[in-house]
Structure 1
């Protein structure tokens, strides 16, 4: 199974469990695992094996192929932020950071604790999301998403341009300052490729970077540090002949 599709498989399982009124505890008992394991698996922290997915499908009275087809259909539907949302987040990136927090936690009380804010301050911050029709604020100290978790920015969006530009400048400055550091990577290569070879390179890099950020790949215990990885490539010769850097 392709790793990119797993979050959509997990979301479809959660939807079907809710439709059939099957609890995580019941599913855990059925699979002989803990409820915590089910929660982690369906929230993308560890991937379920094909054998367990098949067992879940048996409980749901459906074929594994049908589950994967539903997930692929949902995966193919790309949802984008609208122009107003993109503009607001490009002017105030904190709006997007808060939305990402809401993706994983809809309790306003917990969000306030995690961000070191009072309930009143958190309500005011969440109102900015509500005005943009990204969430709705309920009466029981919760908020509900109005957009899917896998929503994306359109190509060449204002927000993406701003973040990419500021990130690239900061990363380039840091790499040039620490070019002799063992932890810094700054390499260039000039190579002749066909258009197909170049497109394959781009797709391979994209898929590899996606795999890096998936939670299910973080299985090895140990201290983790944040790294920023940037890939730049463009048709044309920008590389002085005779240099190797």
Structure 2
């Protein structure tokens, strides 16, 4: 199973434990392991096997298939950052950098080395993400995501303003003069007469495609061994005609005749 799905399953199991007024020590007896081991399994510090999930669900009189189905539905639904989270990223952009690298499944140690952080700074940043309900933080700065890694910004969010203009400007420079044999970039453009409903349908289809493709690209375990590289997409469209008017067709005089005949 994907790490994200396992994390959601263990989260749902913890919810069920609370509903049944059961403690970790009760599950330790069921699984015949220590209470510390149960805590590690249910907090994502150690991968939990399907057999152990089955044992816990059987003890709680839960349907394993329904539990997994609920977890898959929760993981796959479109998730958005809250206004509070957007404000925090807007006011201090390095928080989004940290969140993004955790979402890319970089370890805390890798992030520390990558940015030259001292332990005190790292702890403060992680605690802030925990306060924003983006991660759960355990001892030793071990953490797991609460929000899915494919979480997006709502339309009108403040933080994306930081990078959208710059990204689109650089992307435009890259795609305006593409050579015929260049397969690493493309530019598609059209003007079409559409109804408002047809325009919205295209918008929704692109949203769904990008959302699904982002989830696929972040499924690390299923993409191991693939030769992946970063690609940037920037679809845009709006009501209106933004192209120049086509050139008028003039009468052919002597100066034009020599160019045409």
- TM-score, length of structure 1 as denominator length: 0.62
Which residue of 27, 30, 39 corresponds with 2:50?
A: 27
- Aligned mates of 1:227, 1:126 — CA distance in 2: 29
The answer (yes or no) to whether the contact 1:8–1:75 under 8 Å persists in 2 is no
- Aligned mates of 1:137, 1:69 — CA distance in 2: 24
Give the aligned partner of residue 97 of structure 1.
97
- Aligned mates of 1:72, 1:63 — CA distance in 2: 14
- Aligned mates of 1:136, 1:230 — CA distance in 2: 32
Give the aligned partner of residue 231 of structure 1.
235
How does 1:208-223 map onto structure 2 within 5 Å?
Answer: 208-213=209-214, 214=216, 215-216=218-219, 219=223, 221-223=225-227
Give the aligned partner of residue 199 of structure 2.
198
- Offset from partner CA, 1:152-193 (integer Å, 9 cap, x none): 4332111123322221112112223x4326122122111112
Give the aligned partner of residue 118 of structure 1.
118
The answer (yes or no) to whether the contact 2:83–2:157 under 8 Å persists in 1 is no
Ranked by relative contact order (alpha carbons within 8 Å, sequence separation 6 or more), the top structure is 1
- Aligned mates of 2:58, 2:136 — CA distance in 1: 36
Report deviation, 1:194: 2.0
- Offset from partner CA, 1:42-101 (integer Å, 9 cap, x none): xxxxxxxxxxxxxx9889741635653575478769553334x43442244221011233
Q: Could you tell me which runs of 5 or more consecutive residues in structure 1 were left unpaired when the two chains were aligned.
A: 1-5, 32-55
Q: Does 1:148 align with 2:163?
A: no
Report deviation, 1:149: 3.8
Classify 1:188/1:228 alpha carbon distance in 2 versus 1 (closer, same or farther; 3 Å): same
Question: Which structure has the larger Rg?
Answer: 2
Aligned length: 211
Give the aligned partner of residue 15 of structure 1.
11
Q: Could you tell me which runs of 5 or more consecutive residues in structure 2 were left unpaired when the two chains were aligned.
A: 18-26, 32-40, 42-46, 248-261
Greater shift after overlay, 128-137 or 114-123?
128-137
Report deviation, 1:241: 5.6
Specify the SS of the correspondent of 1:158.
coil
- Offset from partner CA, 1:96-145 (integer Å, 9 cap, x none): 0112334576975554235443324433544664676756866x332657
The answer (yes or no) to whether the contact 1:79–1:152 under 8 Å persists in 2 is yes
The answer (yes or no) to whether the contact 2:5–2:75 under 8 Å persists in 1 is no
CA RMSD, 1 decimal:
4.4
The answer (yes or no) to whether the contact 1:108–1:141 under 8 Å persists in 2 is no
- TM-score, length of structure 2 as denominator length: 0.59
Classify 1:224/1:105 alpha carbon distance in 2 versus 1 (closer, same or farther; 3 Å): closer
